[in-house]
Amino acid sequence: MSRLGEEAKPPTNGHFRIGSNIKTFTSTVMLQLVAEGRIGLDEPAVDYLPEFGLDRRITVRMLLQHTSGVFNFTGEYYEDGTVMPGIPWQGQEWVDNRFKTYRPEELVRLALSKPVRFEPGTDWSYSNTNYVLARLLIEKVTGSSLAEEMQRLILL
C-alpha cells in the first residue's frame, strides 16, 4: 500500500481493468481456435451459442468485425441524433451503479432485447456485445474460461 506522492512497487498479484484491450486478446484466441479447427469463421454463431437464438446470418467473423448488427449493450447513437440507452456508463446513474457486476449472459440478453442496428453483414458498427458473444463462444467450445485460453494460447 502506498500514499499519494510516495513511491511503491506495484503488487505482483494486483488486478486492474483491461477495458477494450481484451478485444485484441479475444480475437487472437478465436483465431488460434480457428487454426486448431475448433471454430469456423464463416459458421453461424448460433451453431455455437444456440441458447441466445441469434440470427442465423450472423457468423463468427461478423462478431469479430463488428458487422453483426447486434445492439451495443452500452447503447446506440444514431445518425439522426437519437440515442437508445443500454447499461449506464456515465453520469449519476453510472456512479450509483458503478459496483454492479453484469454477467456476460445478462449483457447479451439485454442487447438482444433491443432492435438490431442493421441486417447482418450489411454495415459496420462498434458493438461491445459482439465480443461478449465471442468470449462466450470461446468458453463454450473449449470448456475453459477465456483467461485460461489466453494463458494456453497467448501468454505462455
pLDDT confidence tier of residue 18, bands split at 50, 70 and 90: confident
Domain 19-155 has CATH 2.40.30.10: no
The whole-number pLDDT of residue 89 equals 81
Compute φ and ψ for 103, nearest 5 degrees. -75, 145
Catalytic center residues: 20
pTM, full prediction: 0.88
Instruction: Give pLDDT tens digits for 56-105.
Output: 999 999 999 999 999 999 999 888 999 999 998 888 988 998 888 999 99
Instruction: Give pLDDT tens digits for 98-152.
Output: 888 999 999 999 999 999 999 999 999 999 999 999 999 999 999 999 999 999 9
Looking at the predicted structure, is the pLDDT value of residue 1 above 80?
Answer: no
- Helix 22-35, helix 128-142: angle, nearest 10: 40
Rounded Cα–Cα distance for residues 68 and 119 (Å)? 7
The whole-number pLDDT of residue 154 equals 94
Q: Which amino acid is at 63?
A: L
User: Do 69 and 125 meet the contact criterion of CB atoms below 8 Å apart?
Assistant: yes
Looking at the predicted structure, is the pLDDT value of residue 15 above 80?
Answer: no
- Helix 128-142, helix 104-112: angle, nearest 10: 130
